[in-house]
Amino acid sequence: MRKIKEFIIEKLILLCGIASIFFVIMIFLFLLKEGLAVFKSVSPFKFILGKSWYPISEPAQLGILPLILGSLLVTLGAAIISIPIGVGCAIYIAEIAPLRLKEILKAGIELLAAIPSVVLGFIGMVTLVPMVKNVFHLPTGLTALSGSIMLAFMAMPTIVTIAEDALYSVPKNYKEGALALGATHWQAIWRVMLPAASSGILAAVMLGLGRVIGETMAVMMITGNAAVLPQSILVPVRTLTATIAAEMGEAVVGSEHYFALFAVGIVLFVISFAINVTADLFLHKKQ
């Protein structure tokens, strides 16, 4: 009876894994089916590198370069903010904090990940946007910087949790050996623990950025949604995800605009897929 139960459980797990792969493939094929139709009227080169996004004008201008640059600018800003703070928090929780404080901090960080993005977007509109406007003396606080700060806040729970697990999984005799050879506590962390956990930390960073690049509501609420080429981080921008969320409900099914939004989804899918594959490669990298 025990062998039968194990056999059933193993096959169910296998079925779940196959179903996950099947669903991802079907989603990608659906995006291709709907999105590739736009290239009958515009070339892929002009679609990717075009500087104007006016999908309902006559004639339609379907260039997504401002959307790609907006997404990359917000993601880069979020990475600059979240990576040092997230990795620093992971080091503190894994190696420095007392046991009781460590449990409280871990629980608090995991709770941060559960806050809905629309709630964070609303908080950003009420508090962060006016602050950015006043500090930098801008006409509006709905800028790429506001989006970067909010997305950094959203990415940190992922970075901290996975990086802390990577540091915790390093064999204890590494640190004990470093201390026995005369290294200080900080030298053992910097010279031994961090290099040993580098693949896991890089995976944490990539997965955190994967969440940033795919975030929709918070970005749409606080970045200004201006589909223009960004000149700095202190101007309004529009991201790929915000474009799909804002315009899909208004696009006529079967129109050029409709197919263009699915093509934007293909670009976003490829970017997110590349980030997650890179994170997976780092996570399973053999030292």
Please report the domains of the chain, with CATH numbers, ordered by start residue. Answer: 47-286 (1.10.3720.10)
Single-letter code of the amino acid located at 105: L
**Rounded to whole angstroms, how far apart are CA atoms 209 and 278?**
11
The size of the chain, in residues, is: 287
Question: Which two three-digit tokens encode residue 120?
Answer: 């964070």
**Structure confidence at residue 285 as a pLDDT band (50, 70, 90):** low
Among 52, 78, 47, 42, which Cα is nearest to 229's? 52
The answer to whether residue 217 scores a pLDDT higher than 90 is no
* pTM reported for the whole predicted model: 0.84
pLDDT of residue 287 exceeding 70: no
What is the rounded radius of gyration, in angstroms, for the C-alpha atoms of the chain? Answer: 22
Tell whether the model's pLDDT for residue 149 goes beyond 90. Answer: yes
The mean pLDDT of the chain is: 88
Q: What letter represents residue 217's amino acid? A: M
Which SS3 state, helix, strand or coil, does residue 169 take? coil
- Residue 54 phi, psi dihedral angles, 5° rounding: -130, 80
**Least confident span in 65-69, 212-216, 219-223:** 212-216
